[in-house]
């Protein structure tokens, strides 16, 4: 009995072994499946887990903004203009985060504005990804004339400041949600094309690609079946990094009055409206939308960095 007690005491003092993902066996060899490695990397990173929870909450609020927002974001109530947040003395229900100079609810504008920001971010990045993926595959596989034309276009596109190009397009074609999505998509395809072309050049001479040529497969079959699948990982990583960048561009254009129309709730517009009364003591009209935008972009960036490190460990080792 004493021996068992002593053994329990000794083993209880030993440090606990860190959690490791369960292993699988195949032909007598043990290995950790990729999906289990990804899940373990996610669950063991509390910062990423917290950022994803916050991001999920923000996305739910944006999707169900009609039911979550306390009032109509465009509703004006001049009797309640420049009301402070509800926890201050002049706060008024249901304006929980206060109102702007026209009596519009700050919280409702933030919730509806996040919907616009996420819509612009995901749709613009999706269109850019399709354009860049197609042109990058074509340049990397065909080489020759088309590669020269596409890569020179990429060089020209990357040499121009994206925000200046977007400003010029919005000044020429005017305001509008659809126009802004297209403008940001057209100005963001070059990085995808360059990334996909580099990936294709690194694998187009592999044995399985040469075997596909020998078996008589056509160019489109080889590009889609053998080359496209290997570009998914870098494209996903680039897309995760591009989404918060596009959201910031949308907020910048809206802040300058060249983004969405004034009749569309936007975080950039809310910041611009609040900036007009920022130094008169009504800080909440600009600070709260800015904090919401910062929180949204920070959460997406944290998840994007984790996704890059999880899918491409070599990039983390090179830093």
Q: 160-164, 230-234, 243-247, 257-261 — which one is most confidently predicted on average?
A: 243-247
Given pLDDT bands bounded at 50, 70 and 90, which one contains residue 41?
low
Total structural domains within the chain: 1
Task: Give me the phi and psi of 310, to 5 degrees please.
Answer: -75, -40
What was the pLDDT predicted at 318?
Answer: 42
Task: Give me the phi and psi of 24, to 5 degrees please.
Answer: -115, 160
Per residue in 254-290, pLDDT (tens digit) is 888 888 888 889 999 999 988 888 888 888 899 999 9
Average pLDDT over residues 183-211: 85
Is residue 127 in some structural domain? Answer: yes
* Tally of CB atoms within 10 A around 119: 15
Is residue 81 in some structural domain? Answer: yes
Is residue 6 in some structural domain? Answer: no
Per residue in 145-196, pLDDT (tens digit) is 888 899 998 988 888 888 888 888 888 888 888 888 998 998 889 999 998 8
Is residue 188 in some structural domain? Answer: yes
Per residue in 65-110, pLDDT (tens digit) is 999 999 988 888 888 888 889 888 887 888 889 898 888 999 999 9
Is residue 161 in some structural domain? Answer: yes
What was the pLDDT predicted at 187?
Answer: 86
Structural domain of residue 116, as residue ranges?
A: 46-318
Closest residue by Cα to residue 259 from 158, 119, 125, 130: 119
> In this structure, what CATH number is given to the domain that contains residue 298?
1.10.3720.10
């Amino acid at each position: 009995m004493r021996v068992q007690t002593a053994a329990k005491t000794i083993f209880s003092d030993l440090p606990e072994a860190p959690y490791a993902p369960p292993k699988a066996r195949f032909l007598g060899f043990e290995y950790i499946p990729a999906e289990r490695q990804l899940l373990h990397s996610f669950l063991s990173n509390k910062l990423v887990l917290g950022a994803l929870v916050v991001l999920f909450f923000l996305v739910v609020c944006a999707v169900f903004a009609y039911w979550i927002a306390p009032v109509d974001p465009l509703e004006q109530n001049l009797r309640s203009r420049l009301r402070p947040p509800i926890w201050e003395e002049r706060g008024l229900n249901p304006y929980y985060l206060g109102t702007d100079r026209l009596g519009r609810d700050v919280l409702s504008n933030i919730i509806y504005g996040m919907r616009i920001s996420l819509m612009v971010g995901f749709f613009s990045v999706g269109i850019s990804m399709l354009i860049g993926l197609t042109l990058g595959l074509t340049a990397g596989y065909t080489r020759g004339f088309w590669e020269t034309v596409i890569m020179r276009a990429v060089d020209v596109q990357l040499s121009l400041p994206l925000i200046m190009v977007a400003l010029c397009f919005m000044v020429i074609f005017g305001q509008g949600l659809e126009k802004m999505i297209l403008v940001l998509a057209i100005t963001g395809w070059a990085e995808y094309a360059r990334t996909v072309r580099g990936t294709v050049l690194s694998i187009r001479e592999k044995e399985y690609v040469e075997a596909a040529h020998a078996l008589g497969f056509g160019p489109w079959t080889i590009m889609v079946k053998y080359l496209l699948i290997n570009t998914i990982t870098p494209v996903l990583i680039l897309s995760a990094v591009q989404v918060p960048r596009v959201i910031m561009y949308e907020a910048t254009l809206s802040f300058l009055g060249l983004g969405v129309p004034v009749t569309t709730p936007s975080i950039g517009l809310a910041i611009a409206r609040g900036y007009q009364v920022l130094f008169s003591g009504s800080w909440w009209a600009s600070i709260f939308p800015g904090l919401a935008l910062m929180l949204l972009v920070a959460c997406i960036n944290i998840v994007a960095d984790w996704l890059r490190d999880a899918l491409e460990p070599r990039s983390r080792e090179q830093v």
